[in-house]
Structure 1
């Protein structure tokens, strides 16, 4: 993990890169997400059918489960000290180049793209977060995500 003071964050634009620890995507996580969202498509929750019929020969994680894990993984890769709150401000870009098979290990790679002072209390940081899959060439997700730091 990298730790950076908020007032020094802009000095690292274009150079700051950090990785979270690996996280295993379990079938229980996939099914809990399906229950929370109502997305019970068989490629996610029907293990036996997915093994037989899906192109991945395994159930796969929902794309939006992957995106939601950015808020879990990125703070394990990068800690910005100083703000009283950090707010998920949204996404500029989002792509899912590859699926995550149930049981796979993933991690986030965080790159600082830009830092902008919004006003005297708020700083907006733009990151490129790449969700990597252990042993795979293509990432599961590439997102340009925004974090608003409130001082």
Structure 2
């Protein structure tokens, strides 16, 4: 299935209540987790010490940072939707975020997205998107949230 193309507020508004699609799978490697730990100065052993995690972690392995799983959302979102005719896009907020379960190293995840609402704020489109990060082989998602984007469409 191809990307959903959105070129205006009116096109987005017509999608309210509809599932937009699912991204490709993304695998979290230990290297990516370590690089995120370096970038965020969060070197907690449950993320970066594989040997200790195998013996002392309740998960039996290292896990991706919750915020790492969240930070790939724009990348996965771009696999689902192609928003065109834009002057600018702004990440505006995240509501109702709940981390449901950890993502073990080498797990594959994918994003599912649904349009919750679209509001025209004097020419700026405020889009609220329901997202769920699925973990391959798990019934429970890594997280559920509502992300909010501000789209400044060209007239």
Q: Is the TM value for this pair above 0.5? A: yes
How many residue pairs get aligned? The number is 150
Distance in 1, Cα, partners of 2:126 & 2:84: 14
What root-mean-square deviation, in Å, do the aligned CA atoms of Structure 1 and Structure 2 show?
1.0
CA drift at 1:144: 0.7
* Counterpart for residue 149 of structure 1: 151
TM-score by length of structure 2 reads 0.93
SS in 2 for 1:79: strand
- Which ranges of structure 2 fall in alignment gaps of 5 or more residues? none
CA drift at 1:80: 2.0
SS in 2 for 1:139: coil
Distance in 2, Cα, partners of 1:19 & 1:111: 10
* Counterpart for residue 29 of structure 1: 32
- Which ranges of structure 1 fall in alignment gaps of 5 or more residues? none
Residue in structure 2 matching 1:81, options 79, 84, 100? 84
* Counterpart for residue 54 of structure 1: 57
* Counterpart for residue 105 of structure 2: 102
TM-score by length of structure 1 reads 0.95
* Counterpart for residue 128 of structure 1: 130
CA drift at 1:2: 2.0
